[in-house]
Amino acid sequence: MRERQLFEPKNLRKKLAQHSYKTTPQRKEILQVFADNSGGCHLSAEDVHEILSEKNFDFGLATVYRNIELLNELGILTKVDFGDGCARYELAAIDPDVHNHHHLICLKCKKVIEFKEDFLDELEEFIAENFDFQIVNHEVKFFGYCSDCKDKV
């Protein structure tokens, strides 16, 4: 369930240099926050800013926003949206074809469970044929009640 390869902080300098971006402490530490939380955290810019403060890195919030957006553009982070009013991000899979990682969102406790699935291939084929639509990625969310909550509703 977790063999997905994620971007590693040690490769940051190279990736930035490829695009003529500079390697700053801000960029390194922001990425490190995601690497340290790779166990399935979905962090907002505010979250990252707060975690950095706890580590005594007092970067400007605007800098955090700018660099999260940059890491997203570079494919290092992926945006995920749980409809809670703020953009959230997670480390992206290195292999762009591995886009089969989705979320179960508990309507009661708001817990987010990750899961991996390969059931959608036939559906993608069906869509490609019937809609003449070339699929690049898909996003699947299941809303419901997790094991802790489902009997308490």
Partner DNA sequence: TTATTTGCAAAGTCTTTGCAAGCAG
Partner DNA sequence: CTGCTTGCAAAGACTTTGCAAATAA
Least distance in angstroms from the C-beta of 31 to DNA = 11
Nearest by Cα to 29 from 1, 61, 2, 64: 64
User: CB-wise, 29 or 91, nearer to DNA?
Assistant: 29
DSSP state of 94: S
Q: Which residues contact 121 (CB under 8 A, 6 or more apart)?
A: none
Site for DNA in 49-78 (CB under 7 A): 58-63, 65-67, 69
The dihedral formed by the CA atoms of 9, 56, 36 and 76, expressed in degrees to the nearest 10 = -40
Nearest by Cα to 137 from 149, 148, 124, 151: 124
Site for its own copies in 68-127 (CB under 8 A): 79, 81, 83, 104, 106-107, 113, 115, 117, 119-120, 122-124, 126-127
Q: Tokens for 140, please give them.
A: 């699947």
- Regarding 141 and contact with its own copies (CB under 8 A), the answer is yes
User: CB-wise, 65 or 145, nearer to its own copies?
Assistant: 145
Give the footprint of DNA on this chain (CB under 7 A).
13, 16-17, 20-27, 44-46, 58-63, 65-67, 69, 85-87
